[in-house]
Amino acid sequence: MRTPLSELNSLPTPEFVLRLGGIFEHSPWVAEKAAEDRPYPSREALHTAMVRIVHLAGEQAHLQLLNAHPDLVGRAVLTAESASEQAAAGLTDLSKEETEKFRSFNHDYRRKFGFPFIICARLNKKEAILEAFPRRLVQDRQTEIATALEEIAKIARLRLEDTVL
């Protein structure tokens, strides 16, 4: 159920966090910090503020946020949002060979960077995601952290569109 922004702007902080705490995967601290700067004139302004909060949070918080995300086609229990996003990308209908490719790439990626591969699954299909792994595996760690955070910002934008009128 989508909530009007005007209603979100007037909610007590705990309720605001409850409603928006899942916009950034398992990271309600972003919504908690965003609550401090209300009211927001638009959903886009709220998104910009939340992305800025993440950007300014520092490397330790970045790594915690990155590690809050599940592996694509992994074995973790997914949030409803992640399950829906992975399904939209076709990641729930994989052949055995495709599943093995994902698991192999996930392993190589996590070993190199120390966090899961993150891509906005709703804006990509399984083929595009599989093609992105090798391109991103050659990046250095700092570039890949920045790339993953950009992908998280895309995910958050879409989740806000689903949540806020």
Q: Which residues are catalytic?
A: 69
CA separation (Å) from 75 to 109, 110, 112?
A: 16, 15, 20
Query: Helix-strand-coil percent breakdown of the chain, rounded to 5?
Result: 65, 0, 35
**104/100 Cα distance (integer angstroms):** 6
- Amino acid identity of 74? G
| Cα dihedral across residues 76, 20, 149, 58: positive or negative | negative
